[in-house]
């Protein structure tokens, strides 16, 4: 489950871009750095059929629902008869310590995205169709004493190098087609979005094409569905790889374990563990810097997810992970090493009401 449905690896690269390239503005709104490759077994659908003999006739006409870990676990988040719309608040807090060109730089960053999901009717292939919109963005960034803040929910904002980019984010509208195995099979709207964002700064276009590719945007759905069980086992694993072209790729191994009822919410709790490894890029691309070597690892990531059986969706997700290592960078022929220590906490909460409107009423 990133977005997160979470954002750490890309935030690292963007922070470095701020330091080494004054002409490349900060892209603080990192995207999910996980690719979803579920380990669903070939015979899972057969097992599901044997458990639900009274639905066999319907199963011949529409995709089989994912195997449930329990009889009352059904994925209903994208069923327009159950959820007309829902909202997610994705908050990421990151603390980094970097050593670049002999300078020690500390970065503190908090970013919040307010996401709206609107389920539509299934397409002619039986895939769920759901529209995603960004309803609000908040950023507080401090890089070596240089501070940038932005809050789209506030009536007036001071101008900063990232203002136009933040405003463009609010025009994001993507349409996802998601099959019964909870795999994103198609996305519409990303190319138009890249074109619009590139106009805020043409030098950003190569980076945007990498991080806003169809493959990368699929990862934005993971805070919504990634921890959903793919078998009847009490524990399961998933592997996730995000390839960001000239930035490199990140492979994350997840372990999920059913933990019973959550005392506070009454939902079903799933414990999450994660380990991540970075691989240097094979494509140099056209960025203002090149990554020649890289050794970054994220170990002992821990967290949990809360599934709401009545709504058929995840109401909460929380994970903490540390990333350490170094990158060797080529900046216009000048080579340097970046040493990194990063700690990141990512949280996702789901509601039926718009958190942006609720925040505005309080103000």
For residue 1, being part of any structural domain is answered with no
Q: Which residue is it, tokens 């276009």?
A: 205
For residue 249, being part of any structural domain is answered with yes
Residue 274 structural domain: 8-362
pLDDT at 161: 65
Read off the pLDDT of each residue in 127-143 and give the average, rounded to a whole number.
90
pLDDT at 89: 94
- The pTM of this model reads 0.76
Read off the pLDDT of each residue in 292-310 and give the average, rounded to a whole number.
91
**Which residue did the predictor score with more confidence, 220 or 101?**
101
For residue 302, being part of any structural domain is answered with yes
Which helix (DSSP H) or strand (DSSP E) does residue 349 occupy?
strand 334-351
Q: What is the DSSP string of 13-65?
A: HHHHHHHH-TTS----SPPP----B----TTHHHHHHHH-GGGHHHHTTSPPP
Count how many domains the chain has: 1
- Sign of dihedral through CA atoms 197, 200, 206, 211? negative
For residue 3, being part of any structural domain is answered with no
Identify the band that residue 363 occupies on the pLDDT scale cut at 50, 70 and 90: low
- pLDDT of 12 above 60: no
For residue 2, being part of any structural domain is answered with no
**Which residue did the predictor score with more confidence, 207 or 177?**
177
pLDDT in tens, 84-129: 999 999 999 989 898 887 788 888 989 899 999 999 999 999 999 9
- pLDDT of 217 above 80: no
Read off the pLDDT of each residue in 335-343 and give the average, rounded to a whole number.
90
pLDDT at 214: 77
pLDDT at 207: 67
Q: Which residue is it, tokens 């057969």?
A: 46
Distance CA 118, CA 86 (A): 7
Read off the pLDDT of each residue in 232-251 and give the average, rounded to a whole number.
83
**Which residue did the predictor score with more confidence, 349 or 139?**
349
pLDDT at 176: 92
């Amino acid at each position: 489950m990133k977005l997160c449905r979470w954002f750490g690896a890309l935030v690292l690269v963007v922070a470095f871009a701020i330091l080494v390239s004054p002409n490349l503005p900060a892209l603080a709104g990192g995207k999910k750095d996980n690719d979803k490759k579920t380990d669903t077994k070939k015979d899972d659908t057969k097992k599901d059929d044997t458990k639900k003999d009274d639905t066999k006739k319907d199963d011949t006409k529409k995709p089989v629902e994912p195997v449930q870990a329990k009889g009352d676990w059904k994925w209903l988040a994208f069923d327009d008869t159950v959820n007309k719309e829902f909202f997610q608040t994705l908050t990421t807090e990151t603390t980094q310590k970097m050593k670049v060109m002999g300078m020690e730089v500390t970065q503190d960053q908090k970013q919040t995205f307010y996401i709206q999901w609107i389920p539509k009717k299934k397409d002619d292939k039986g895939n769920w169709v759901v529209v995603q919109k960004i309803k609000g963005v908040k950023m507080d960034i401090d890089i070596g004493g240089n501070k940038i803040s932005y809050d789209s929910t506030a009536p007036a904002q001071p101008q900063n190098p990232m203002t136009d980019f933040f405003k463009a984010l609010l025009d994001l509208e993507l349409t996802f087609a998601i099959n019964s195995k909870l795999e994103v099979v198609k996305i519409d709207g990303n190319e138009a979005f890249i074109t619009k964002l590139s106009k805020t700064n043409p030098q950003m276009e190569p980076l945007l094409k990498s991080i806003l590719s169809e493959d990368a945007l699929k990862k934005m759905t993971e805070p919504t569905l990634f921890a959903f069980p793919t078998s009847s086992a009490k524990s399961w694993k998933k592997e996730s790889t995000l390839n960001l072209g000239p930035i490199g790729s990140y492979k994350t191994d997840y372990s999920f374990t059913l933990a019973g009822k959550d005392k506070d919410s009454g939902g079903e709790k799933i414990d999450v563990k994660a380990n991540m490894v970075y691989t240097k890029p094979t494509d140099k691309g056209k960025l203002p810097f090149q990554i020649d070597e890289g050794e970054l690892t994220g170990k002992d990531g821990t967290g949990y997810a809360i599934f709401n059986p009545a709504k058929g969706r995840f109401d909460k997700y929380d994970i903490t992970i540390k990333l350490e290592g170094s990158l060797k960078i080529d900046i216009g022929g000048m080579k340097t090493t970046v040493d990194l220590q990063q700690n990141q906490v990512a949280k996702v909460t789901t509601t039926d009401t718009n958190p942006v409107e609720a925040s505005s009423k309080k103000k």
